[in-house]
Amino acid sequence: MILSDKDIRILLRAGELVIEPLDDEVVRENGLDLRLGNGYCAFKDTDKVLDPRAPGSPEEFYECREGESFVIEPHRHYLLHTLEYVKLPPYLAGLVNLRSTWARTGIYIPSTVVDAGFEGQLTIEVIGSEFPVRLYAGERFLHLVLVKLETPSERPYSGEYKGQRGVKLPKFFKVQAGI
Q: Active-site residues: which are they?
A: 125
Continuous segment of H or E residues that includes residue 12: helix 5-14
| Residues facing residue 82 across a β-bridge | 36
Cβ burial of 22 (10 Å; 0-12, 13-18, 19+) is: middle
Do 178 and 41 meet the contact criterion of CB atoms below 8 Å apart?
no
Q: Is 9 helix (H, G, I), strand (E, B) or coil?
A: helix
Report d(CA 26, CA 53) in Å as an integer. 40
